[in-house]
Amino acid sequence: MRFHSTNYSAPKTDFFTAVLTGQAPDRGLYMPERIPLIDKAEFRKFSGAPYYEAADFVLRMFLDGINR
């Protein structure tokens, strides 16, 4: 997934560059190109689950195609 600046003047970048840079060169904040949707059934699966399991699931949606 690619990330763009909220000012739309900086080039799009990958997750790691967005996180390590913190702020885009145009002084905007990096945002994902799209916000992944979570199916209600999938969302309910995390009720009562440890926080790290839910966080891992959500983070993977933004890191599609990246292996651990």
Model pLDDT, residue 65: 56
Q: Is residue 55 classed exposed, middle or buried when 0-12, 13-18 and 19+ CB atoms within 10 A define those classes? A: exposed
Q: What is the mean pLDDT of residues 32-49?
A: 89
Compute the distance between CA of residue 44 and CA of residue 25 in angstroms, rounded to an integer. Answer: 39
Q: Is the pLDDT of residue 24 over 60?
A: yes
pLDDT top residue among 64 and 67: 64
pLDDT of 30 above 70? yes
Q: Which two tokens stand for residue 23?
A: 């702020």
- Are 12 and 33 in contact, with CB atoms under 8 Å apart? yes
Q: Is the pLDDT of residue 64 over 80?
A: no
Mean pLDDT of 28-34: 93
- The dihedrals phi and psi of 40, each to the nearest 5 degrees, come to -55, -40
